[in-house]
Chains A and B, each alone.
Chain A
Amino acid sequence: MAATVTLNGAELTLDPSGALWWAERSTLAVADLHLEKGSGFARQGRLLPPYDTRATIARLAVVLRRYRPARVVALGDSFHDQEALARMDAADLALLQRLVAEHDWVWIAGNHDPAPPRGLGGTVRAELALAPLVFRHEPEAGHVDGEVCGHFHPKAAVRARGRRISGRCFVTDGGRLVLPAFGSYTGGLDALDPAISGLFEGQVRVYLIGRDAIYLFAAERLEGVRRSEPAASVR
């Protein structure tokens, strides 16, 4: 079950997959796919399973089938590094190319992929303004109304009946919205971390992703994410 929020006047749907759906503009946004993160580690001698790209694209394909958007915005860090595309398995690449071809696809540049590969189709941009929203990888300094961004991989934890439940989350104060990372190998940064909480001026609300639904908590209700849930220490 999805949740809805209003951001700078735009009515948005937060999907439990971690994707953002803006029905009015038929636009779907996903952040931080980090494709080929596994092989990026392998390059350094850490032979993580290479299936992260396949898993991420498959999950993306499911969301795209559900919402059938006209436009897809990949909010940056779509590729774990500049050589990611060269390492991608042919079958994964073919599926990704097909998905890109079927949509008006926008690759926003991120810090991991300042120049997203052009051979894939779609358009590459530093940011995308679709009033009343603006899509960027990293937020701009100061208060910006209607800014949708990724980059931080927010994660949160709550305690219920003595059990800790932690997961990826959307974070917003009604003016700015930070998306969770969509990639299969992306960990998270505690939403309470000043790097994230400092982005907001209004009351911070966290939409925690459960198994099949999304749950709203005020920031005061959260517990810190344990350091033993190693988050995205690797960026």
Chain B
Amino acid sequence: MISPMTAPAPATADLPEPFAGWFARRGWRPHAHQLEMLAAAARGESALLIAPTGGGKTLAGFFPTLIELTRQPREGLHSLYISPLKALAVDIHRNLEQPIAEMGLAIRAETRTGDTPQAKRERQRRAPPQLLLTTPESLALLLSYEDSARLFAGLRSVIVDELHALADNKRGDLLALGLARLAALAPQLRRIGLSATVADTGLLQDWLSPEGDAAKAPVRLIRGGEGPQAEISILMPRERMPWSGHMALHAMPEVMRAIRAAGCTIVFVNTRAQAELVFQALWRLNDDNLPIALHHGSLAAEQRRKVEAAMARGALKAVVATSSLDLGIDWGAVDLVIQVGAPKGASRLVQRIGRSNHRLDRPSKALLVPGNRFELLECRAAIEAIAAAELDRERRREGALDVLAQHITGIAAAGGFQADGLFAEVRRAGPYRQLARREFDDTLAFVATGGYALGGYERFRRLVRDGGGRYHVASPDIVRRYRMNVGTIVEQPMLQVRLGGRRLLGEVEEYFIQGLVPGDTFVFSGELLRFEGVRETAAIVTRATGEAPRIPAYAGGRLPLTTNLAARVRAILASPPLWRRLPPEVGEWLEMQERRSVLPMPEGLLVELFPRGGKEYLVAYCFEGRNAHQTLGMLLTRRMERMGANPLGFVASDYCLAVWSLAPPRDVPALFDRDMLGDDLEAWMAESTMLKRTFRNVAVIAGLIDRRHPGWQKTARQVTFNSDLIYDVLRRHEPNHVLLRATRADAATGLTDVRRLAEMLERVAGRITVKRLARVSPLAVPVLLDIGRESVYGAAIDTLLDEAAAELVAEAYALPDPQGVLL
């Protein structure tokens, strides 16, 4: 957190004692941005500090508080620090204790997270420390207590760390609402945002602004020292570049060599499955037994802490990690970042690369390892984007209504509110600055009575109004449920993985385990395991040997290719002179495409049609990312079904979509008409499991149904309800209900990415090139190789049941009753 100084920096004379002396004793001088942050604080301004990790960013956030409390010692909560990660709050706390102790400051700093013992939490509300380090969820909980007004009345500053990781999601919505609340309780409150480099700082300034709009209530932008340009290279395999696959296992010998040559390396991968495979592959090559560790979100927290501690001690040569290491603790000593697989976005790559070499005076070093040909193009595109300082542009986020419903419940629990007053307060939160009164009223009605058009729930109200028109919770049970369900992260149901029934290895999605039969082997936590069975909430495993294990395929987690990077990949494809920088076999591949078909153009859409193996293929090169392509696949197959083309299935990559059918589709431009986003989309939404999952998350966040807590099933106190049934009924009878509006808003981005699809259909209308070919084109080969993992046409469930049933009959499942055959 605190780093030695870079070249020209101001003198310590600009700091008051004992801070100047403390810096001097270390031979350090403050960064310019640290002093700018002090100056902003002196003027009472809110500030956004953009700086790479390791730039002394966090200390810059705390300095004003420490100095103010030294000059004017006082009791009571003075500053809040909010981090997206519990572990980060704990780590920052540790780093903060050091200067506080060494300077002998009479300042108490404490953490408060879900792990904080109950007694300590109660004491913190009674006798708060001056500095409290916490998470968005813990803040929401604090705000739901009736004593919150007293607790926060003297609050002077709130520091939001890793703001870039919060501002574009529901956790950020919740936090923004919490900040609006804090501002009402503590009018003199200053806000400080700390963020990695982003494309559009204006969005973050608005998010942070006390009015939700930096034009109305300014937020000073302060930039920390940018280090020299990172040195990024692409690892070219000795063998030929693979056609498909993401694991890049072919390149592991070279990756191992790079690890050996560097001091300490983080090997970033995109999925947990990839982490497991790459980790195994590296250990097979690890003849010198170098200390190489594994870190991902499914591993037991204790095991992750161990890896992090070993990393901090400098005891590791390398760690293979997923996004679980994207944020957080500053390791300091990392010399090299290796990205295995496609970078997916320039901003993400910059942040990952920034994990290496936190000395600002030396360039970060990174090595990109593409898994296939398209990923190679993507790596080139990412390097060019970073060189051009062109990061991925985020969109302005509109606050989610389910999160608003949760917040309203919390504020009701804290002692109630007037609707007008709360509406005005909510509109001061950046994501909600455009919130229409009708949306607010509908959300409030949902919290109060369910907000259904069909009356009758008045007598079951959860919120009641007193004579003065203030809303209050109707019963303590509502407060209790609110506190148990607070937060916006709705986890998949997980099962523990226990070795021999004892040692906890981590957690894995329940549905993965349900697909295993005892005796199946799978890779988890870097080990080959044999599944023995499920006992209560744990999957029992033993160590195994053998070949062809299954790999847990985790839903989600895979980020789609960003628009910015996709445009650059397209530009490379369309420009043969740029191919000279690619390996010969890749250049050759693109030349063959040019000869056999055509190259996708930077604008418009190329669609190829060709027969193969008795089926007709349609390949559309949309470059809109896997999620949007999945949705397009669902909708296209519906239309082809209606056209009588008999679609059989489709597969989507980040770059294109392939659909196969019995008959060739006619009139391709009509197939891609924008009107598919009307009835077809609605019809698909009715049965899409993705939308049902989205609705479940919305329903949990909004407080309609309870989240599932591990182990609660046993106590039977938890009431579970199948949200799919609610979704079906609500869709049919009140399609415009606020929860369905929230579900559609989520579907516009995220796993279904409907908005990106809509923008593409708009853009390519009238500009579709249809190329009929006698056989598969060179560019189509990679996606056709993905077909092994085909997704099946959504409406074909009955066909599948039929097949499975036919299989059963064919296997002579001799049933005694001849009536038992299918009709």
Contact = CB atoms under 8 A, between A and B. Distances in A.
A48 interface: yes
Interface string A27-56: 000000000001101111111111110110
Contacts of A54: 454, 733
Contact of A51 (B454, B720, B798): B454
A44 B719 CA distance: 11
B721 A211 contact: no
B514 interface: yes
Contacts of B475: 45
Contacts of A205: 815, 817, 820
B729 A165 contact: no
A10 to B, nearest CB: 11
Interface string B801-823: 11111001000010111011111
Nearest to B514: A226
Interface residues of A, number: 60
Given A49-B729, A165-B797, A43 B813 contact: no
Contact of B720 (A159, A217, A233): A233
Contact of B733 (A41, A49, A164, A223): A49
B805 A216 contact: yes
Contacts of A43: 460
A24 to B, nearest CB: 15
A161 B790 CA distance: 9
Contacts of A48: 450, 704, 721, 726
A45 B713 contact: no
Interface in A186-223: 186-187, 202-203, 205, 208, 210-213, 215-218, 221, 223
B815 A158 contact: no
A216 B730 contact: no
A232 to B, nearest CB: 8
A226 B456 contact: no
Contact of B822 (A3, A55, A89): A3
Given A228-B510, A233-B719, A51 B725 contact: no
B514 A42 contact: no
B800 A165 contact: yes
Interface string B722-753: 10111011101110010000000000000000
Instruction: Count chain B CB atoms within 10 A of each CB in A41, A48, A159, A210 and give the residue with the most.
Output: A48
A4 interface: yes
Interface string B91-119: 00000000000000000000000000000
Given A6-B817, A230-B721, A50 B511 contact: no
Nearest to A183: B725
A52 B729 contact: yes
Contact of B730 (A44, A49, A165): A49
Given A54-B733, A218-B808, A228-B510, A47 B456 contact: no
Contacts, number: 177
Nearest to B493: A228
B722 A174 contact: no
Nearest to A11: B819
A2 interface: yes
Interface string B763-805: 0000000000000000000000000000010010110111111
A4 B823 contact: yes
Interface string A1-24: 111111000010000000000000
A184 interface: yes
B722 A229 contact: yes
A215 B481 CA distance: 41
B804 A160 contact: yes
B358 interface: no
Contact of A50 (B457, B798, B802): B457
A217 B462 CA distance: 45
A224 B534 CA distance: 12
A99 B535 CA distance: 48
A231 interface: yes
Interface in B466-510: 474-475, 477-478, 481, 492-493, 510
A25 interface: no
A66 interface: no
A87 B719 contact: no
B816 A203 contact: yes
B478 A45 contact: yes
Contact of B801 (A42, A165, A223, A227): A165
Given A1-B823, A203-B816, A216-B822, A47 B454 contact: no
Given A48-B704, A165-B797, A230 B728 contact: no
A210 B721 contact: no
Contacts of B713: 227, 233
Nearest to A56: B729
Given A55-B732, A213-B798, A50 B452 contact: yes
A38 B726 CA distance: 9
A47 B719 contact: no
Contacts of A224: 514
B800 A226 contact: no
Contacts of B492: 228
A223 B725 CA distance: 21
B515 interface: yes
B456 A87 contact: yes
A158 B514 contact: no
Interface string A117-151: 00000000000000000000000000000000000
Contacts of B729: 38, 49, 51-52, 55, 184-185
Given A43-B460, A164-B514, A216-B808, 17 more contacts: A2-B823, A45-B474, A45-B478, A51-B730, A52-B729, A55-B732, A87-B456, A174-B816, A215-B802, A215-B804, A215-B805, A218-B813, A226-B510, A228-B510, A229-B724, A231-B722, A234-B721
**Nearest 9 A-B pairs (CB), nearest first?**
A47-B450, A160-B804, A51-B733, A230-B720, A160-B800, A228-B493, A42-B460, A187-B722, A215-B801
13 contacts: A5-B819, A45-B477, A49-B734, A51-B730, A160-B803, A160-B804, A185-B725, A185-B729, A205-B815, A215-B805, A227-B493, A230-B722, A234-B721
Interface of A: 1-6, 11, 38-39, 41-52, 54-55, 87, 89, 158-161, 163-165, 174, 184-187, 202-203, 205, 208, 210-213, 215-218, 221, 223-224, 226-231, 233-234
